[in-house]
Structure 1
């Protein structure tokens, strides 16, 4: 049994690395236990709203992120068939003055690399371990202990479970199952040179009944990120034979020419079924707590999954600085975070149904809301983007 640090963070994704940076603020050492052979991120682009930017600023990595980011001018909803602009949100001067930070888009791997490099700059405080598939965690006489896939055990004073959607640490608190939305996503980037007719100034979401396409540039404008999402009409539980590339082509047939062209560029090797879980009313047990998708996996429709993990890391850091007792710090952390993340989870589901509406009544309501909306209706986004200012 090996003691590795004061705190073990299980999971080395965006949330886990941010948690490590936050924990060391309180003078504690951290071991990050990542299951993959190397630290890295899969996927494509990620949207970072001001509530996430505030955390990146706190952890001293904002300028590094800015060097790799794109700063869109607007968020735009378009009809997938007609290209009509349905609603926009201006991300310019007033937006930045209201929230204190810009809205940016980056490649997920770029964000992860910046956080990883920040951790590597603190070798005395943060240790990084790979090939650690943590199976179990429990309290013991010396604090807490985890066991990996080989039966090896590691101890520390406390554990933060940041091991993602299929978290093993979450099993301490719930035996709940993943909830499949019956939607799938296909993600990818293409060289910006191949994009001759796309809007490079905005984050654009083309919406239609039970489907959408998101587009925006990343990596200083060198790549163009595209995400296709649709509900499969062939959904089968416990099967991968649904939401196929062939079904994607059929579902988007008849879309606007720019949409059909975009679909032709989409990478088809990796299919991403979309899951979430119901909110938990507790994610702390003694000196063990959860963070990010392990605590509150959510659907992507508000672009807040990564942002909420970063918020977690910041609030966790605050509470560890305020209390030397891990259990007290973790309880106070979850007391703030559970209501917040549950609200975002619920709104992500609602926004997905709203965007993908097909029934006439919902479409009438949506059209009315869009007509009343202006590019500077920031009161709609205050609850998301203004969190750091309200705390």
Structure 2
């Protein structure tokens, strides 16, 4: 049982830890309640745009992040069959000067560890494991969360940051995650295993009809991260018997030899079905709000899931400072700022997925023609994403 003097954060992933840092920055005692027996992060690589790096810098973590990160020179789109370079975005000095921070790639577990250690060092933050939270309610005593064992925690405010399969989202919507019929297989391998043809300075996305492969180095360049994504023709709701490794091998037959080689190194034990949800127009009730994937789960095509959770946390920190102990007002102002922004990113991620996975020849020709005509330092298309400036009234919608 906690006192009612703390902000309670449900979920100890990237968003939950960032939310704890935000609450503590505003002077609030904060408790993070994590379901797993220990804090950690699964998955492989993560891409962090300058909009996310700005938040990590705000929380005093940028220097520690740089110890693990790789700073790519380009984001490259290639044809999955011919290896033709369709377009690239220059991430060099002009990009960094324009957006204030670099674009980085790193292992998800390294990012999580830096956030976790930042929370551990903060005297206002406590971290509690083994807490599967079932219910949230608010009364005159405060906001009460109850775990699976019936144990209760009383806080002065609650932030639900429990991810795609959030139990806290049910208080705002009865929706369910939407399967895109795509699956991902991920993995990292030692750099020494990689062909000399790979460019260690680039984030490469190989694109083709209903499929793509992403490659980039992580962990100071010691590991190479690879993600293989494809749409399954065998999707069965409620079943795991679709998007199998055998189907992956069949779908990627005939791709460029470098892509076929990449498939040899992919870990096949874990398949990741890809889900999102539709935007909702409210995620706040009294002294209770949502953050990150609990509020706005999105497809991975813009590499913005973790970035948007960090933006949420930064906005919350601003609102806590602006509204003090008036959590109701802070949360309402937070969602007013964040809902239009995150809804746009959610919808844009879906659209970009349709573009890169185009199937018919006319759409592919149009896409490739447009991509090949753009300049490497033409930033207008991404200004809305990376040029976001947090704070009341600053949202570029």
What TM-score, normalized by structure 1, do the two folds share? 0.98
| Cα distance per residue 1:314-349 (max 9 Å; x no partner) | 000000000020000000000000000000000000
Alignment of 1:213-362 (within 5 A): 213-324=213-324, 325-362=326-363
**SS where residue 12 of structure 1 aligns?**
coil
Q: Given that residues 4 and 31 in structure 1 are in contact (C-alpha distance below 8 angstroms), is that contact kept between their aligned partners in structure 2?
A: no
- Deviation of 1:4 after TM superposition, in Å, equals 6.4
In the alignment, does 2:133 pair up with 1:125?
no
Query: What's the offset of the Cα at 1:2?
Result: 3.6
Residue 146 of structure 2 corresponds to which residue in structure 1?
A: 147
Deviation of 1:372 (Å): 2.3
Change in CA separation of 1:127 and 1:82 when aligned onto 2, cut-off 3 Å: same
Question: For 1:388, what is the secondary structure of its paired residue?
Answer: coil
Whether the 8 Å CA contact 2:4–2:156 is kept in 1: the answer is no
Name the structure 1 match of 2:366: 365
Supply the distance in 1 between the matched residues of 2:223 and 2:274 (Cα, whole angstroms). 24
What residue number does 1:108 align with?
A: 108
**How far 1:272 sits from its partner (Å)?**
0.4
CA contact (8 A) 2:4 2:141 kept: no
The aligned residue for residue 168 of structure 2 is 169
Paired residue secondary structure (2:133): coil
Q: Equivalent residue for 2:378?
A: 377
Q: Is the 8 A contact 1:54 1:388 kept in 2?
A: no
Aligned to 2:30: 30
Tell me whether 270-279 or 370-379 shows the greater mean CA deviation.
Answer: 370-379
Structure 1 gaps, min length 5: none
Between 1:352-361 and 1:72-81, the stretch displaced more is 352-361
Whole-Å separation in 1 of the counterparts to 2:247 and 2:234:
9
Hey, what does 1:158 align to over in structure 2?
157
d(CA) in 1 for partners of 2:190, 2:136? 43
- By how many angstroms is 1:368 displaced? 2.8
Distance 1:366 1:243 in 2: 26
**TM superposition shift of 1:101:** 0.6
Higher mean displacement: 50-59 or 361-370: 361-370
Question: 2:142 & 2:374 partners in 1: Cα distance?
Answer: 53
TM superposition outliers: structure 1 runs of 4+ over 6 Å: none
Cα RMSD for the two superposed structures: 1.0
Q: Under a length normalisation based on structure 2, what TM-score does the superposition of the two structures give?
A: 0.97
Cα displacement (A) at 1:6:
1.7
**What is the deviation of 1:5?**
4.4
**1:135 match:** 134
| In structure 2, C-alpha distance between the alignment counterparts of 1:167 and 1:190, rounded to whole Å | 31
Q: Give, in whole Å, the separation in 2 of the partners of 1:328 and 1:9.
A: 18
1:199 and 2:199 correspond: yes
How many Å apart are 1:364 and its aligned residue? 2.8
- Give 1:177 shift: 1.0
- Counterpart residue number, 1:7: 7
Q: Secondary structure at the match of 2:254?
A: coil
Q: Per-residue deviation at 1:15?
A: 0.5
CA distance in structure 1 between the partners assigned to 2:253 and 2:372 by the alignment: 28
Q: Does 1:53 align with 2:53?
A: yes
Contact 1:275 1:299 in 2 (8 A): yes
| 1:181 alignment counterpart | 180
Unaligned runs of 5+ in 2: none
Conserved in 1, the CA contact under 8 Å of 2:44 and 2:187?
Answer: yes
2:250 is paired with a residue whose SS is helix
Q: Secondary structure at the match of 2:332?
A: helix
Answer yes or no: is the 8 Å Cα contact 2:188–2:225 preserved in 1. yes
In structure 2, distance between residues paired with 1:260 and 1:297: 31
**Match of 1:387?**
388
Q: State the Cα deviation string for residues 293-326 of structure 1 (Å, max 9, x = none).
A: 0000000000000000000000000000000200
